[in-house]
Amino acid sequence: MSFALEAEGLTKTYGAVRALDDLTLKIPAGGVFGVLGPNGAGKSTLFRIAMGLVRPTSGVARLSGSPAGHASSLRQVGAMIETPRYPPYLTARDALKMLALQSGARDVDIDGWLDRVGLSGAADRKTSTYSVGMKQRLGLAAVFFTRPTLAILDEPTSGMDPAGIQEIRELIRRLAAEEGATIILASHQLDEVRRVCDRVAILAKGRLVAEGPVETLAGRKPALRLVASPVAQVLEILGEQAAADGPDAVLAQIERHEAPALIRALVGAGVDIHEARWREADLESAYLDILQAKEPADAR
Amino acid sequence: MLADAISAERFRLLKDRGTLFWGVLFAPIAGLALNIGGELFARSLMKGAPPIPVDLVGRMVKALADGASPVVGLFVLILSTAVLAGDYRWETWRLLTPRNGRVNLLLAKLATVAGAVAISLVLYALAAALGGLFSAATSGGALVAYRGSAGVDLLGTFAISWLQLMVLAALSALVGVVTRSTMGALIVGLVFAAVQSIVASQLHEPSLKALAIPAFSGDLLKTVLLTPRSVVDEPAPWALALGFLAAWLAGLTAAALALFQRQDLTRE
């Protein structure tokens, strides 16, 4: 298996503060990988080390097998670390042109990328007049326009309103599908991570506390919640696949493709179905449980 | 690659109109305005005075020789701090460092400043020549030939002043990296330029200590260049002076590069 980002025993201290504490983490190449954690968990420090902005106190980090921060590894990477900033006297078009020149990228379709991120109408406005959301969108163009094999997005929706978050989320999903790059996404938006990521790692106080597929970490697969009567008959038909969820509902642990047949069978057996809804994996509860479980361990 | 970084920096400076105006164009414009204003003022005081012959090359050589003064140095510092330390101010290193090597990035900035300083010096000299033409046109003074080797004197004074100004630029690179502040780099550079100029003006003997002051070395080199050999009593240590100036530039640049390569860009 090849890894997009590997950290081995990575430690970074700032004076008395340990931003990363012997972190070992391997992020596989391909798909969208989420990195979760509260403020100060070490997410941005990990990314800054990966991009060569910060030197680790000890340990090593590698990007696609090459030492992190080296020109050879960075050539394949695009990154948006925290809120993107630009020289205020540059327009969006100038900013992308300057970055293309800096990267040595000759054939970059700057107008095409500005169009893809919805900024073609503001391409000649100075970035100092941009809203946070527009800066984030320009940042996404700056990440992807050199066609990297790995994109690191650190809080790409921070400071944005719900509509902007939705817009950026859609954009990330679209770019991930169209560009085929591995995406590492750090976010406080658990819903965003659940919807966009295949796997996640949870960091706390500079350490890895959990890692795995979103559904596994969430503790259960999506389940079909049926509000039906009589409940007892539904439980009898489903057997071990079902569990009562309150007095008038049942949670059926089935695969999505089994749902139509199950509903037909239940209706055929004389069950009245008032509501059928998929309950998604609950990443938020799992995330909070994991962090709370970590707290007492730290206190000891 | 370094060439990519230089292209990007040059493109960026051309878009930064404020820095271009104050750092590159203002000194020549102010020089021209002072030339013309001074000429008009002198004419108003000395009505009926005979026309004064105008030596255009001599005016350019003098302008180039004065091009490393603290006043001109201030505008070069505005340019160099904006280019060399601006990314700390705008927090934009995180945008650049993943795209090119750190050594390339800082060297590209210095190369861009070097080019802009050269252009500013040339414009400063041309402004002096334009002022001379204005003087000749308004006073009726004849244009006279330069008494000396025009090419050598023009190139020599240009090169020495450029070297002196680049020492200031390299200093602002180092202070910019250390303080992560454009204002810090500007103030330290300005104080350095003023103090070295004052100290150099008090020293007369070319001792090693005196030669270690860039302003003294620069002045000595210009004196050697522009003084006719027939009036020189004993040879001045011009090679040592040139060596000191080059060492300042190389040392400050190397120190800035070494620090920048190891610097954590946590919050630029």
Q: A53 and B266: CB-CB below 8 Å?
A: yes
Give pLDDT, residue B177.
95
Q: A101 and B4: CB-CB below 8 Å?
A: yes
For residues B41-50, give the mean pLDDT: 80
pLDDT digits (tens, 9 = 90+) for B119-178: 999 999 999 999 999 988 888 888 898 888 889 999 999 999 999 999 999 999 999 999
pLDDT digits (tens, 9 = 90+) for B178-199: 999 999 999 999 999 999 999 9
Highest mean predicted confidence (pLDDT) among A3-7, B33-37, B166-170: B166-170
Indicate the residue of B4, B16, B18 with minimum beta-carbon distance to A102. B4
Give dist(CA A229, CA B67) in Å, integer. 93
Using pLDDT thresholds of 50, 70 and 90, give the confidence band for residue B230: low
The A residues from 208 to 267 touching B (CB cutoff 8 Å) are none
Q: B11 and A77: CB-CB below 8 Å?
A: no
Give pLDDT, residue A221.
65
- A4 three-class SS: strand
pLDDT digits (tens, 9 = 90+) for A187-233: 877 877 887 888 899 898 899 988 888 877 776 567 888 999 999 99
Give pLDDT, residue A296.
47
Calculate how close chain A gets to B91, using CA atoms only, in Å.
6
Give pLDDT, residue B98.
84
Smallest CA–CA distance from B16 into chain A, residue: A89
Indicate the residue of B4, B16, B86 with minimum beta-carbon distance to A104. B4
Calculate how close chain A gets to B110, using CA atoms only, in Å.
15
Q: B17 and A89: CB-CB below 8 Å?
A: yes
Contacts of residues B183-191 at CB distance under 8 Å and 24 or more positions apart, as own/partner, are: B183/B81, B184/B85, B185/B77, B185/B80, B185/B81, B185/B84, B185/B85, B186/B77, B186/B78, B186/B81, B189/B73, B189/B77, B189/B80, B189/B81, B190/B70, B190/B73, B190/B74, B190/B77
Give pLDDT, residue A299.
47
The interaxial angle of helices B238-262 and B214-226, nearest 10 deg, is 140
Q: A102 and B265: CB-CB below 8 Å?
A: no
Using pLDDT thresholds of 50, 70 and 90, give the confidence band for residue B105: very high
Q: A74 and B98: CB-CB below 8 Å?
A: yes
pTM of the model: 0.83
Q: What is the mean pLDDT of chain B?
A: 91
Interface predicted TM-score of the whole assembly (ipTM), two decimals: 0.86
User: Which residues in chain B are contacts of A89 at CB distance < 8 A?
Assistant: 15-18
Give pLDDT, residue A9.
94
Give pLDDT, residue A216.
78
For residues A134-159, give the mean pLDDT: 87
pLDDT digits (tens, 9 = 90+) for A257-281: 889 999 999 999 999 999 998 877 6
Using pLDDT thresholds of 50, 70 and 90, give the confidence band for residue A300: very low
Flag whether pLDDT at B224 surpasses 60.
yes
Chain B contact present for A148, CB below 8 A: no
Give pLDDT, residue B156.
95
CATH superfamily ID and name for A3-217: P-loop containing nucleotide triphosphate hydrolases (3.40.50.300)
Give dist(CA A156, CA A146) in Å, integer. 18
Flag whether pLDDT at B251 surpasses 90.
yes
Q: Quick count: other Cβ atoms within 10 Å of Cβ A39?
A: 7
Contacts of residues B143-146 at CB distance under 8 Å and 24 or more positions apart, as own/partner, are: B143/B53, B143/B54, B143/B55, B143/B56, B144/B53, B144/B54, B144/B55, B145/B55, B145/B57, B146/B55, B146/B56, B146/B57, B146/B58, B146/B61
Q: Which residue has the higher pLDDT, A7 or A244?
A: A7
Q: B94 and A81: CB-CB below 8 Å?
A: yes
Flag whether pLDDT at A298 surpasses 60.
no
Chain B contact present for A98, CB below 8 A: yes
Flag whether pLDDT at A244 surpasses 60.
yes
Calculate how close chain A gets to B182, using CA atoms only, in Å.
14
User: Which residues in chain A are contacts of B18 at CB distance < 8 A?
Assistant: 89
Give pLDDT, residue A295.
61
pLDDT digits (tens, 9 = 90+) for A67-86: 888 877 787 888 898 888 99
Smallest CA–CA distance from A53 into chain B, residue: B265
A239: left (phi over 0), alpha (psi -120 to 50) or beta: left
Give pLDDT, residue B121.
96
For residues A83-101, give the mean pLDDT: 93
Flag whether pLDDT at B47 surpasses 80.
no
Q: Identify residues of B whose CB sits under 8 angstroms from chain A CBs.
A: 1, 4-5, 7-8, 11-12, 15-18, 86, 90-101, 262, 264-266
Using pLDDT thresholds of 50, 70 and 90, give the confidence band for residue B232: low
Give pLDDT, residue A156.
85
User: Which residues in chain B are contacts of A14 at CB distance < 8 A?
Assistant: 266
Q: B17 and A86: CB-CB below 8 Å?
A: no
Q: Which residue has the higher pLDDT, A293 or A199?
A: A199
Q: Which residue has the higher pLDDT, B38 or A177?
A: B38
Enumerate the domain spans of chain B.
Answer: 2-262
